[in-house]
Amino acid sequence: MLSALAGSYSRYEPEELAAFWDTVVAVTLRTPQPARDLLISTTTDRTGLLLAFELDDRPVVSGLSHVVRVLDRIGPPTGTDFRMALVRIALDLGRIRGPYGRRPTPQDEQMILLIAALLDVDSVPGLAALV
C-alpha cells in the first residue's frame, strides 16, 4: 500500500513510514479475528519486512496478485477481512497524504480504487462519497 501511494519501493521518508505503521496499527485494531492476527504478524519485524520488500523486485500489481491468490486459498471470512483491511490501510494512508489529512488527493483516490479492484473488493467505504 505504501509503495502504491508513495510511488517508491524503498528509501521512504521517516514521516511516510511512521504514518504507514500508524495506519496499519489503527486498521489492525478494527479488523476481525483471525485476519487481525495476520496484520499483527506484519508488525513484529518491521525492519525485516521492509528489507524483504525492498529486495522483492516485483511490481505492485504482481505483488497484489500473489496476495489475492493466497487470500483465495484462505477463503472467507479471513481472506475477505484481510482484503478489506488492506484497502482501509490504503484509504487511511491516502487521507493522511491528502489535503489537511482529511481526504486523498484525486490521484491517490484513483490508486485506492485500483488497489481495491486488484484485491477484488467491490466498494471502498468512505471513498464512494468522494468520487
Instruction: Write down the domain spans for the chain.
Output: 2-118
> Do the beta carbons of residue 6 and residue 113 sit within 8 Å?
no
Write down the pLDDT at residue 8: 66
pLDDT at 108 over 50: yes
Alpha carbon of 122 to those of 18, 28, 40, 117: distances in Å? 29, 21, 25, 7
59-87 pLDDT tens trace:
889 989 999 999 999 999 999 999 999 99
What does the alpha-carbon distance between residue 109 and residue 32 come to, in Å, rounded to a whole number?
A: 25
> Do the beta carbons of residue 1 and residue 93 sit within 8 Å?
yes
> What does the block give as the cell for 101?
489529512
DSSP letter, residue 98? S
pLDDT at 7 over 80: no
> What 3-state class would DSSP assign to 59?
coil
Write down the pLDDT at residue 127: 75
